[in-house]
């Protein structure tokens, strides 16, 4: 006890001296989530059972990583998120990235594709190809992966409401290539709950949306066993303005809702849990971000083993992809974003990510150039090959500050999950606007801190310079939309309308029933039925979700 008394005396004197000598410094230092940072943390301040909380790498509760060897075995998958207007242009970028050493593909779709409209639908006018690649038919998907063997690469697709249809197209193209779909590896985001909370690219009401998700769980468990059937996303929650604690709490609460929906649909937890994956953000507060990943792993392991009774170790493991924080990129002095992305990527690797996308320095201005994408990829490669970080299985394990932050984030996220449980679960909390309001309040508070200069953003509210910025690269050639329309016109002219009508009729009946829709989706796209035709047919049966005001 004597050393604790001495520490408290030292702490009091240190705080007093700091305020006396440096009055402009904060009296209270804290993370972006509001967790207070003591000047130092002694071993005696930690939980005496911290070794039980840490465990060993690759063993429950996975605080130190989901693999026993981590990056000594192999590096994380290096992905660069890309989608450019047409399938042909995107295919060129994918092959360039693979040639530059990227080890996995990550597909960005345009807005019409994300909300289930074909490129020739009137509602898609002016949006075709603007924020990603336009995919309306199996022919677009085949062009997107031309000369890329789908049984040899891992592909992530950021698609949610129509995820089943895009996965069906991917499987159909793989079959055309002669690939065994049981060998396909990749991920679909397929996370509709965060769309209602933070992003907005939903189509259907919650009940049929959840049915689509569990259909994918069931189908892939039997037919595409190496595919990650969902990427439960905290990334967009954080981009909307949440804190790190909220990102973990709300993401895992959504994960709980998906597991409960699958169990309600009659699936065995150990049959699908190993195909669940997560998607997190990496922000600038390096140590908080490292602790966030550790806390999320430990909390999910307990949830799966203790709450849902999962028996297989793979069912307890939280495996995740990370993307550096788009919301932290600045249009001002964009070269500063290289340093931000490097810090964020380092946090993801120190935190034990399974795959990583590093943003390009110019993304706050326009679609990234090949050079800026190469710099972003090289950032990952320098961390992997030159930093020495990957040589240690868990470089920061046992750091008193990291373990303290891990405990605090786990507790804070657990408190959010408890509140959401009391409301009836994630869906009910979303319908009541709870998650949305919490995120909005956090975003507002963070923005006020920037405006008051309590939080410094280099080059924005401090250390600014006079510069002229132009946005010419944002222009998308309208010819792209015309080309997509012409492709669809030819597709519809050359197919047999009777067959189309038959399949769409089958889809109506299947949507009204409880049968798994995935096999029918594959048949539909193989018979040249388009994304928009499938989604509009389902709209006719299920209706569309309208956001509520809170």
Phi, psi values for residue 348, rounded to 5°: -65, -40
81, 334, 499, 539 from 316: Cα distances, Å: 28, 40, 45, 36
Q: Considering all CA atoms of the chain, what is the largest pairwise distance in Å, rounded to the nearest integer?
A: 87
pLDDT digits (tens, 9 = 90+) for 29-65: 788 888 887 766 655 555 566 667 788 889 999 999 9
Strand partners, 155: 105, 186
Q: How many whole angstroms separate alpha carbon 498 and alpha carbon 533?
A: 14
> What is the distance, to the nearest Å, from the Cα of residue 146 to the centroid of all Cα atoms in its chain?
26
Whether the CB-CB separation of 390 and 71 falls below 8 Å is answered with yes
Query: Which residue intervals of 240-369 are DSSP H helices?
Result: 244-264, 269-272, 286-302, 313-316, 336-350
Q: Which residue from 253, 391, 236, 254 is spatially nearest to 323, judged by alpha carbons?
A: 236
Count Cβ neighbours within 10 Å for each residue of 476-487 and write b for 16 or more, e otherwise: beeebbebbbeb
Strand partners, 458: 462
CA distances from 511 to 80, 475, 476 (A): 35, 40, 37
Evaluate whether 275 touches 219 at the Cβ level (below 8 Å).
Answer: no
**In contact, 237 and 191? CB cutoff 8 Å:** no
Backbone conformation region of residue 424, classed left if phi is above 0, alpha if psi is from -120 to 50, else beta: left
543 vs 539: CA distance, rounded Å: 5
Task: Return the domain boundaries, the chain.
Answer: 1-27, 50-451
What global pTM score does this model have?
Answer: 0.89
Q: Which of 292, 363, 354 is nearest to 322 (CA)?
A: 354
pLDDT digit string (tens) for 193-239? 999 999 999 999 999 999 999 999 999 999 999 999 999 999 999 99
Cα–Cα distance between 236 and 202 in angstroms, integer?
A: 14
355-357/230-233 β-pairing: unpaired
In 164-309, which ranges are E strands? Answer: 185-188, 227-228, 230-233, 276-282
Q: Fold for 50-451, please state it.
A: TIM Barrel (3.20.20)
Query: Would you tell me the crossing angle of helices 163-176 and 531-542 to the nearest 10 degrees?
Result: 150
- What string of pLDDT tens digits covers the 550 residues of the chain? 555 666 667 667 766 766 676 666 555 678 888 888 776 665 555 556 666 778 888 999 999 999 988 998 889 999 877 777 789 999 998 998 899 888 789 899 999 999 999 999 999 999 999 889 999 999 999 999 999 999 999 999 999 999 999 999 999 999 999 999 999 999 999 999 999 999 999 999 999 999 999 999 999 999 999 999 999 999 999 999 999 999 999 999 999 999 999 999 999 999 999 999 999 999 999 999 999 999 999 999 999 999 999 999 999 999 999 999 999 999 999 999 999 999 999 999 999 999 999 999 999 988 788 899 999 999 999 999 999 989 888 989 888 899 999 999 999 999 999 999 999 999 999 999 999 999 999 999 999 999 999 999 999 999 999 888 776 555 667 888 999 999 999 999 999 999 999 999 999 999 999 999 999 999 999 999 999 999 999 999 999 998 876 5
Measure Cα distances from 192 to 233, 329, 443, 537 in Å: 9, 26, 22, 19
What is the token pair recorded at 190?
């397929």
Structure tokens at 365: 């201005």
Please tell me the distance from the alpha carbon of residue 461 to that of residue 421, in angstroms, as a whole number: 40
């Amino acid at each position: 006890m004597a050393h604790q008394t001495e520490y408290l005396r030292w702490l009091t004197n240190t705080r007093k001296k700091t305020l006396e000598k440096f009055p402009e410094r904060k009296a209270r230092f804290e993370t972006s989530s509001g967790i207070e940072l003591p000047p130092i943390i002694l071993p005696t301040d930690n939980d005496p059972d911290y070794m039980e909380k840490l465990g060993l790498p690759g063993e429950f509760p996975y605080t130190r990583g989901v693999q026993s060897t981590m990056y000594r075995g192999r590096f994380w998958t290096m992905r660069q998120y890309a989608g450019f207007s047409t399938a042909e242009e995107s295919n060129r970028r994918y092959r360039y990235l693979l040639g530059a050493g990227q080890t996995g593909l990550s597909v960005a779709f345009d807005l019409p594709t994300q909300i289930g409209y074909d490129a020739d639908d009137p509602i898609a006018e002016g949006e075709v190809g603007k924020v990603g690649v336009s995919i309306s038919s199996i022919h677009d998907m085949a062009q997107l992966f031309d000369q890329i063997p789908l049984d040899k690469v891992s592909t992530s697709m950021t698609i949610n409401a129509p995820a089943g249809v895009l996965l069906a197209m991917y499987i159909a193209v793989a079959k055309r290539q002669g690939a065994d779909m049981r060998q396909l590896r990749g991920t679909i985001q397929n996370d509709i709950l965060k769309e209602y909370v933070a992003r907005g690219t939903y189509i259907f009401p919650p009940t049929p949306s959840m049915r689509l998700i569990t259909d994918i769980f069931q189908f892939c468990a039997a037919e595409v066993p190496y595919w990650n059937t969902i990427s439960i996303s905290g990334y967009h929650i954080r981009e909307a303005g949440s804190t790190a604690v909220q990102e973990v709490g709300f993401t895992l609460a959504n994960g709980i809702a998906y597991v409960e929906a699958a169990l309600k649909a009659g699936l065995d937890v150990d049959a699908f849990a190993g195909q669940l994956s997560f998607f997190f953000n990496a922000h600038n507060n390096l140590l908080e971000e490292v602790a966030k990943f550790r806390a999320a792993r430990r909390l999910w392991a307990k949830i799966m083993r203790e709450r849902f009774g999962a028996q297989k170790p793979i069912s307890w493991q939280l495996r995740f992809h990370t993307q550096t924080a788009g919301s932290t990129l600045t249009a001002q002095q964009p070269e500063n974003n290289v340093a931000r992305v490097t810090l964020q990527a380092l946090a993801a690797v120190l935190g034990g990510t399974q795959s990583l996308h590093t943003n390009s320095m110019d993304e706050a201005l326009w679609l990234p150039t090949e050079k800026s994408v190469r710099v972003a990829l090289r950032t990952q490669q320098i961390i992997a090959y030159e930093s020495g970080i990957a040589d240690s299985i868990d470089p920061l394990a046992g750091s008193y500050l990291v373990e303290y932050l891990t405990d605090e984030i786990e507790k804070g996220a657990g408190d959010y999950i408890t509140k959401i449980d009391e409301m009836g679960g994630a869906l009910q909390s979303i319908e009541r606007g709870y998650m949305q309001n919490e995120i909005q309040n956090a975003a507002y508070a963070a923005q006020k801190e920037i405006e008051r200069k309590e939080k410094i953003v280099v080059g924005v509210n401090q250390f600014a310079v006079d510069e002229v910025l132009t946005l010419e690269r944002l222009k998308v050639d309208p010819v792209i939309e015309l080309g997509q329309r012409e492709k669809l016109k030819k597709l519809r002219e050359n197919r047999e309308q009777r067959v189309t009508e038959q399949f769409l009729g089958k889809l109506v009946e299947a949507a009204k029933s409880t049968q798994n829709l995935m096999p029918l989706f594959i048949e539909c796209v193989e018979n040249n039925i388009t994304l928009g035709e499938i989604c509009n047919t389902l709209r006719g049966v299920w209706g569309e979700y309208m956001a509520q005001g809170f």
